[in-house]
């Protein structure tokens, strides 16, 4: 079972009322929750570790996870409030304003971590949960604790405006990336993280540090997969873009699901370069799933039958 570790929040998406007034509507979201939902819809057995509020927004998140067959037994429930992200769209591209102080998701601590992860076969970390404390240090500790035993994928999904202590964030992320098997970064993430170091040089450093597969997404220009000894570029699937909310998260889910179905989401299997046909199929599933998501409003990943 894949365990997605990190934020679940409410995306307040822009809508118009029947009277023509501008409004915001609440939708379950968060990069890590979106990845969990997308993986489950693609047929991957999935669980989530996150802080969930008992408030009305927390119930929306809880119901959404359970309705999509995501295991919530490791979710941490409290009476703190739910993180809210108000979304602004321009030409389909989303920007966010987060309201996250003292929330159920943010205040996850080391003491909340399960002592064991029975039945878990792979871990995914990412999103704003890696940028704010105490949850960021908590997820980093879990990653470092389990990385020798379980395959780890990380997508930091960097939001520079949300980062208040960049050196501390970079140091934490560096510790996690050093033990990750699969790293996904947008080209913008890579530029921010490496101070605009050229892609090939920056990726070579990640591979030298221990990553087995580094995926650099480039919007309409597709995704380039880097691995020991080579690289492969996968074009995007043409789609009419409604918005990009959840597209990268859906891609992550496709990659994880594809690897699991091919028998390669294991430490031993990832230790050697992936066969080219397997890697192409994995990337294809990721971009096809993402193409469906961008053609729909909000983070609404496809079922497997829709791809």
Give the pLDDT band (50/70/90) at residue 22.
confident
Judge whether 165 lies within some domain: yes
> What is the predicted pLDDT for the residue at 261?
97
Q: With beta carbons less than 8 A apart as the criterion, state whether 78 and 105 touch.
A: no
Q: In what order do the strands lie in the sheet with 22-29?
A: 22-29, 9-16, 84-90, 93-99
Judge whether 83 lies within some domain: no
Answer whether residue 297 shows pLDDT above 90.
no
> What is the predicted pLDDT for the residue at 178?
97
Judge whether 132 lies within some domain: yes
What is the tens place of the pLDDT at every residue in 100-129? Answer: 999 999 999 999 999 999 999 999 999 999
Residue 69, SS3 per DSSP: coil
Judge whether 16 lies within some domain: no
CATH (domain of 281): 3.40.1190.20
Judge whether 279 lies within some domain: yes
> What is the predicted pLDDT for the residue at 264?
96
What's the domain range around 115?
2-6+31-52+72-77+110-306
Answer whether residue 40 shows pLDDT above 70.
yes
Overall pTM > 0.85: yes
CA–CA dist 256, 238 (Å, integer): 22
Closest CA to 135 of 111, 107, 99: 107
Q: At 184, list the tokens.
A: 């996904």
Answer whether residue 298 shows pLDDT above 80.
no
> What is the predicted pLDDT for the residue at 95?
80
Average pLDDT of the chain is 94
Residues forming a β-bridge with 90: 93
Q: With beta carbons less than 8 A apart as the criterion, state whether 54 and 78 touch.
A: yes
Q: Which residue has the higher pLDDT, 306 or 297?
A: 306
Answer whether residue 242 shows pLDDT above 90.
no
Closest CA to 207 of 184, 227, 187: 227
Q: With beta carbons less than 8 A apart as the criterion, state whether 57 and 29 touch.
A: no
Answer whether residue 92 shows pLDDT above 70.
no
Report angle CA 150, 151, 153 to the nearest 5 degrees. 135
Number of domains in the chain: 1
What is the tens place of the pLDDT at every residue in 206-235? Answer: 999 999 999 999 988 999 999 998 999 999
């Amino acid at each position: 079972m894949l365990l997605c570790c990190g934020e679940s929040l409410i995306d307040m998406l822009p809508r118009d009322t029947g009277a023509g007034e501008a409004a915001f509507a609440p939708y379950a979201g968060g990069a890590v929750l979106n990845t969990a939902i997308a993986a489950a819809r693609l047929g991957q057995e999935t669980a989530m570790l996150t802080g969930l509020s008992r408030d009305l927004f927390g119930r929306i998140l809880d119901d959404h996870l359970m309705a999509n067959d995501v295991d919530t037994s490791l979710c941490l429930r409290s009476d703190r409030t739910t993180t809210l992200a108000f979304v602004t769209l321009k030409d389909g591209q989303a920007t966010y304003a987060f309201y996250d102080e003292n929330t159920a998701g943010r205040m996850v601590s080391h003491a909340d971590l399960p002592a064991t992860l029975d039945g878990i076969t792979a871990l995914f970390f990412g999103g704003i949960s890696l940028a704010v404390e105490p949850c960021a240090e908590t997820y980093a500790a879990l990653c470092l604790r389990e990385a020798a035993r379980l395959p780890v994928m990380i997508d930091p999904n960097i939001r520079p405006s949300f980062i208040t202590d960049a050196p501390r964030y970079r140091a934490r992320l560096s510790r996690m990336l050093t033990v990750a098997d699969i790293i996904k970064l947008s080209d913008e993430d890579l530029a921010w993280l490496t101070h605009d170091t050229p892609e090939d040089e920056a990726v070579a450093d990640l591979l030298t540090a221990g990553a087995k597969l580094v995926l650099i997404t480039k919007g309409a220009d597709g995704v380039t997969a880097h691995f020991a000894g080579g690289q492969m570029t996968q074009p995007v699937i043409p789609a009419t873009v409604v918005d990009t909310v959840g597209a990268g998260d859906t891609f992550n889910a496709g990659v994880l699901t594809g690897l699991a179905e091919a028998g390669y989401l294991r430490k031993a299997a990832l230790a050697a370069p992936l066969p080219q046909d397997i890697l192409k199929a994995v990337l294809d599933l990721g971009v096809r799933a993402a193409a469906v998501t961008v053609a729909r409003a909000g983070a609404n990943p496809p079922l497997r039958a829709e791809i």
